[in-house]
Chain A
């Protein structure tokens, strides 16, 4: 053995440039040998089933499809991302390589962060590809507006957090069973996170699967007449980013003595992440359902978002035109055709609307999870009078086909237009009821009925009295010009309740 008294001369510390190049090479290596690409086809298939097909079945409205994409994409990616991240996190221990990598110069957190980053990059690439496909198709179909990016950001932040949680689980409990358990646990945690939502002021709304007020569900009216509110997505992104930071920071917390230099920054990152996540949960708890169907959080709310969006309506060419928001332009022919018979009957009558104009839905949070949805004011107002129309698709319920929407519109808006002109209602005179029934009859609308007794808390209706039906039949049998001429002369008296059934021609 040769005695050497001089300690080995330290090599110069690699420059920052070398560090970056080395980190890039390591990331490239991890990207090339990552397990995530093998699971991406599964995630993409799930996205196609749970998000893409569902969104394509919806009207081409940006906010509607974006909200659907948010929850669908999350459910599609949660299992592959959490599972593969856990698989990668447990890789060193599963492959019995811990000793070999532990004695290398690069810190454990840097090594693990690279593996995590590679898995997350792949997941993000797959997800963004799916979003590009969905948004690309929507861009070609949508008549108006632009893509909302906040839902995209929420899912992206969710994938970061899910990946970090899965990776941490794999690193902490390195077993071949950790990956499937992490995947299943993440799925159920996400799916069940909405079960505790009560009303609009719920901390659980911070769950990334909540794309809109949970009690309402898919709603085409949201984000069309008023800007898409980013309040809840801001809280969600903040929560998820905080969660990611906390988990990654905790993963980097070193074990054993002599590594205090890393413990302090890791603890600081963890604490900052927890603080951000906690703040976001608190913010979500202060959210309220606003009048436009979105969650407004006072602390992050921008008052400018309460101003309606400017748009030039698209209108049909008729005596009483039907005007819709340009986002609904594809519905215009169907809506105009559905309402044409009743509008032709109304055209020229005193007090008849000069146009039927689509308006925004108004939302009010009731007790518990109930939400009332409807018009803010009377259906007809203004001088000259305008009939305010809500398309059936603007109300809660499953999205409709164009044909279904036309049928629903005829049976809901048609009688409402007649009633608003004739003055039909609970306190209407028999003559008003008869005229309303006659006009509905000639316009091919469902026959009006009278409110009946409440049975088992449900409102019932009863048919019109025989005398009213008889008068209605008589009036409906008149030629349209005669009916119209009579109404022009007597509508004011009819509305005032001064016409009896016997006076009807």
Chain B
């Protein structure tokens, strides 16, 4: 298992953002759904080792991230795209991706090829020498994905990766997710159930800091038959599970 989470909690002051999550995941694409404030981003940030859990156990890629050595090993194999991507406007696309390749300790000899491959995979090869300040929001999002995958991560955490992408790019990105999910664990936090239906092999639905559903997209669809509200089957499953959890 690349991700083994047991009883994970995270508190910010009086707010319990994550209230006892259990999750196990191997290679594949897992969609993390949930309403605003459900705790998706907090869970992703804990899995990214950006913040520490308040309680519970977290085991990533077979290691505990609490100690320095294992955490560093995890971080070498980790890709993360935060919800709000910060960037250095003066860097070019290639420099930004190279910067993260260096920070992720990709062997120096492999960096040029890794950077070029990551940029190509997000279809920004023609913009490699363009400064980030000159890119559109959607292109910046793709740059964020490129920096996340430059080290060929075994655990890839993407928070709202398709926000700002045009439909064509979104389709291409889903294909990329499916490809990455064949050998890595990809956790995608999203509000867009189409992404889940098209790219995810598993789906987890969070509400009020807890996972209230964990299964395949088909299972979620089945939950909505005759119950939920929404235009698409997955949306109906989503609303049915949430309604059930809140009742």
**Interface on A for B, CB 8 Å cutoff?**
1-5, 7-8, 10-11, 14, 18, 21-22, 25-26, 29, 32-33, 91-92, 95-106, 111, 256, 258-259, 261-262
How far apart are A256's CB and chain B's nearest CB, in angstroms?
7
Given A1-B30, A2-B26, A103-B80; 11 other pairs, CB 8 A cutoff: A1-B201, A2-B28, A7-B63, A8-B154, A18-B108, A25-B98, A29-B95, A92-B86, A100-B100, A104-B103, A258-B66
Q: Give complex CA distance A7, B70 in Å.
A: 12
Within 8 A of A (CB), among B63-100: 63, 66-68, 71-73, 75-78, 80, 82, 84-91, 95, 98-100
Residues of chain A contacted by B48 (CB below 8 angstroms):
99, 103
Mask of B49-75 contacts with A, CB within 8 angstroms, 1/0: 110100000000111001110011101
Tell me if B176 is interfacial: C-beta within 8 Å of chain A: no
* 11 A-B residue pairings within 8 Å (CB atoms): A4-B27, A32-B95, A91-B88, A95-B87, A97-B88, A99-B80, A102-B50, A103-B48, A103-B78, A106-B102, A262-B68
Q: Is B102 in contact with A25, judged by CB distance below 8 angstroms?
A: yes
Residues of chain A contacted by B30 (CB below 8 angstroms):
1
How far apart are B146's CB and chain A's nearest CB, in angstroms?
12
- For B61, give the chain A residue with the smallest CB separation: A8
How far apart are A407's CB and chain B's nearest CB, in angstroms?
58
- For A262, give the chain B residue with the smallest CB separation: B68
Residues of chain A contacted by B91 (CB below 8 angstroms):
33
Tell me if B13 is interfacial: C-beta within 8 Å of chain A: no
Q: Is B107 in contact with A1, judged by CB distance below 8 angstroms?
A: no
Task: Indicate whether A1 sits within 8 Å of B26 (C-beta atoms), given known contacts A26-B102, A96-B84, A100-B86.
Answer: yes
Task: Indicate whether A4 sits within 8 Å of B52 (C-beta atoms), given known contacts A14-B107, A29-B102, A95-B86.
Answer: no
Tell me if B5 is interfacial: C-beta within 8 Å of chain A: no
- For B100, give the chain A residue with the smallest CB separation: A104
Q: Is A104 in contact with B104, judged by CB distance below 8 angstroms?
A: yes
Contact of B76 (CB < 8 Å), options: A11, A26, A95: A11
Tell me if B236 is interfacial: C-beta within 8 Å of chain A: no
Q: Is A100 in contact with B85, judged by CB distance below 8 angstroms?
A: yes
- For B99, give the chain A residue with the smallest CB separation: A29
Q: Is A105 in contact with B86, judged by CB distance below 8 angstroms?
A: no
Contact of B62 (CB < 8 Å), options: A8, A95, A106: A8
Q: Is B73 in contact with A10, judged by CB distance below 8 angstroms?
A: yes
Mask of B98-115 contacts with A, CB within 8 angstroms, 1/0: 111011110111010000
Q: Give complex CA distance A100, B148 in Å.
A: 9
Residues of chain B contacted by A258 (CB below 8 angstroms):
66-68, 71
Task: Indicate whether A1 sits within 8 Å of B62 (C-beta atoms), given known contacts A97-B87, A106-B102.
Answer: no
Task: Indicate whether A100 sits within 8 Å of B80 (C-beta atoms), given known contacts A18-B108, A32-B95, A33-B91.
Answer: yes
- For B28, give the chain A residue with the smallest CB separation: A1
Mask of B14-58 contacts with A, CB within 8 angstroms, 1/0: 000000000001111010000000000000010011101000000
Q: Give complex CA distance A22, B98 in Å.
A: 10
Q: Is A99 in contact with B105, judged by CB distance below 8 angstroms?
A: no
Residues of chain B contacted by A8 (CB below 8 angstroms):
2, 61-62, 77, 154
Q: Give complex CA distance A98, B86 in Å.
A: 8
Q: Give complex CA distance A8, B26 in Å.
A: 11
A25, A96, A99 — most chain B CB neighbours (10 Å): A99
Tell me if B210 is interfacial: C-beta within 8 Å of chain A: no
- For A254, give the chain B residue with the smallest CB separation: B68
- For B91, give the chain A residue with the smallest CB separation: A33
A104, A256, A262 — most chain B CB neighbours (10 Å): A104
How far apart are B211's CB and chain A's nearest CB, in angstroms?
14
How far apart are B48's CB and chain A's nearest CB, in angstroms?
5
A99, A103, A106 — most chain B CB neighbours (10 Å): A103
Q: Give complex CA distance A3, B25 in Å.
A: 8
